[in-house]
Structure 1
Amino acid sequence: MEILSDRPDLAMVDVSGVRRAINIGLLENEPLEPGEWILIHVGFALSKIDEVEAKAALDFLESIGQAYEDEIEALRESMIEKG
């Protein structure tokens, strides 16, 4: 969304509706502009990506989360209670 003027190694980004500051120091040789997509891991921008790559990554992460939720629900439903 924006590169912080007082900290040029940080950018304010929107991650699925959550605004947060991330370190863009690893991309110092890559010109970045607001509105571009970047791959972030543990608070660091790793690479600039296009919108198609970004959508694929988001879809994949959402499917992992849903698979996890489905597995937890299946475990809950299969619990055997001692009585």
Structure 2
Amino acid sequence: MCLGVPMKIVSLHGERAFAEALGVRREIALSLLPQPWPHPGDYVMVHVGYAIERVDATLAEESHTLWQAMEAGRDA
């Protein structure tokens, strides 16, 4: 099973970016996305360090709520 995490782009550095979700910041690769690449403030789905698709903010927020519920051991 594959798992992707929606992350918000914080800054761009060529073909790489820094993105964050739920207090975690990671450097990610943008090379699998078509150009133009996302801008700071945009959300992307990240899998093993690569942005694999753009996602809207609503989906990202819903996913983060579910992650937090799972971590807390309760239903959302």
**Does the alignment reach a TM-score above 0.5?**
yes
Structure 2, unaligned runs of 5 or more: 1-9
How far the C-alpha of 1:34 sits from its partner, in A, is 0.7
Aligned to 1:56: 62
Aligned partner of residue 41 in structure 2, secondary structure: coil
State the structure with bigger RCO (CA 8 A, min sep 6), 1 or 2. Answer: 2
More helix by share: 1
For the pair 1:2 / 2:11, whether they are aligned, the reply is yes
Alpha-carbon RMSD across the aligned residues, in angstroms, is 1.8
Aligned to 2:39: 33
Structure 1, unaligned runs of 5 or more: 71-83
Q: TM-score, normalised by structure 1?
A: 0.64
Runs of 4+ aligned structure 1 residues displaced above 6 Å come to: none
Amino acid of the structure 2 residue aligned with 1:21: E
Q: TM-score, normalised by structure 2?
A: 0.69
**How many residue pairs align between the two structures?**
65
Identity over aligned pairs, percent:
25
How far the C-alpha of 1:26 sits from its partner, in A, is 1.0
